[in-house]
Homo-oligomer: A and B are copies of this chain.
Amino acid sequence: MPTIKDVAKYAGLSRTTVSRVINDQPYVSDEKRQCVLKAMEELGYVPNSSARRLRSQKTETLAVLLPRITNPFFSHLIEAMEIKASQWGYQVIICQTHESEQKEQDYLELLRTKQVDGVIMTAVHNDWEVIESYRECGPIVVCNENIEEAQVPFIYVNQEEAAYDATMHLIQQGCKNISFLSGDDDSNVSAYRRSGFLKALQESSLPFLPNASYANAIDVNSGREIFRELRRLNHPIDGVFTGSDEVAAGMIYEAIKEGVRVPEDMSIIGFDNQSISMLMSPSITTVEQPVQDMGEKCVEVLIDQIEHKHRSVREDHVFEHELKVRNSTFQEIALVNS
């Protein structure tokens, strides 16, 4: 592999001049520029990025921390991020935390060891003060969470409102005994959603059913399991806020198996508008978040911080959600009759 030194020698010029050509800097005569380009071409030279990184103190690489990439919400998010980052000439390294505090810290170390210029966190598992200590090593932006005391940019949808709207929709459909499901309980997202859920119940003078509340609803299988548990309650449930299309799909799967009619006997509402929500029968009413826009925004904000080195203060980028009403909460018959 030829180095810049070889190119310089071959072109009969100094490394400095070659470097100027590589980086499109001024103060190189056209004649020499051509000369250098020719030399690079003929030697098949390509600059070594480790050396560039060391000297220029930047990596043009971002780390994206997420629980697991197979969750469609996160895969869509990181898809958008990678595309945007690539447009800016940045690489994206993928960091699956699997909800582990330790792994989250391990990956944040990438910032300290200068393997990345910045970090996007799409979930936060450690206490904020732990995260905070990494901030001196480089910018961090948080996506999909909202931690009040933290002074970094946040990109999110108002989960409280979203859950409120979803719950209100269930109530308008006539649900009176509504179950609340959430994933990881230490996440702020769950807390905000619960709060919106409770607000809707309260305004409608409906009771909260702690027995029909589960905090381990994360995927299809947990959805199926929780459905079976709900059936065992002596209190009949006619509506479920799942917080996830996959959980909703799992519940519907089980409902069909058990002969429970959705939405007539039980209305089920998902979250994220993943493709599964359209495909299930009945199709799943869900809350759409503008995932692509959010992903792009994260990258833009982060790169802006990296390239302009401005100390990040609190910054809120709130995106709008949208309720997608489908058949898991809404009987088409009613529509036909009206």
Cβ–Cβ < 8 Å partners of A114 in chain B: 48-50
Q: How many copies does the complex hold?
A: 2
A76 partner residues in chain B, CB cutoff 8 A: 70
Within 8 A of B (CB), among A224-276: 246, 249-250, 252-253, 256, 275-276
* Chain B residues whose C-beta falls within 8 Å of the C-beta of A61 in the assembled complex: 93
Query: With A50-B115, A53-B53, A70-B75 given, can you name 20 additional A-B contacts, CB distance below 8 Å?
Result: A46-B112, A46-B113, A47-B113, A48-B54, A48-B114, A50-B53, A50-B114, A68-B79, A75-B75, A78-B94, A82-B96, A91-B93, A92-B94, A93-B93, A94-B94, A220-B279, A256-B281, A280-B280, A280-B281, A281-B281
23 residue pairs from A and B, CB less than 8 Å apart: A47-B113, A48-B54, A49-B113, A49-B114, A49-B115, A50-B50, A50-B114, A53-B53, A53-B54, A69-B75, A69-B82, A70-B72, A70-B75, A78-B94, A82-B95, A82-B96, A92-B93, A93-B94, A220-B275, A250-B279, A252-B279, A253-B278, A279-B279
- Nearest residue in B to A51 (C-beta to C-beta)? B54
Closest to A76 in B: B70
Which residue of B57, B256, B275 contacts A246 across the interface (Cβ within 8 Å)? B275
Residues of chain B with a CB closer than 8 A to A37's CB: none
A59 within 8 Å of B by Cβ? yes
Does residue A184 face the partner (Cβ distance < 8 Å to B)?
Answer: no
Quick one: which of A59, A112, A279 has the most chain B CB within 10 A? A279
Q: Is A109 an interface residue (CB 8 A)?
A: yes
Taking residues whose C-beta sits less than 8 angstroms from the other chain, chain A's interface range is 35 or more
**Taking the complex as formed, is A306 at the interface, i.e. its CB lies under 8 A from any CB of chain B?**
no
Closest to A46 in B: B112
Interface residues of A (CB under 8 A from B): 1, 46-51, 53-54, 57, 59, 61, 68-70, 72, 75-76, 78-79, 82-83, 86, 91-96, 109-110, 112-115, 137, 220, 246, 249-250, 252-253, 256, 275-276, 278-281
Query: In the complex, how many angstroms separate the beta carbon of A121 from the nearest chain B beta carbon?
Result: 16
A276 is contacted by which of B79, B109, B252, B279 (Cβ under 8 Å)? B279
Q: Which residues of B contact A256 (CB under 8 A)?
A: 281
A50 interface neighbour in B59, B137, B280, B281, Cβ under 8 Å: B59
Bound-state CA distance A61–B59 (Å) is 13
Residues of B within 8 A of A83 (CB): 96
Residues in B with CB closer than 8 Å to A1 are: 137
Q: Are B109 and A96 touching (Cβ within 8 A)?
A: no
Expressed in whole angstroms, the Cα–Cα distance for A278 and B250 within the complex equals 10
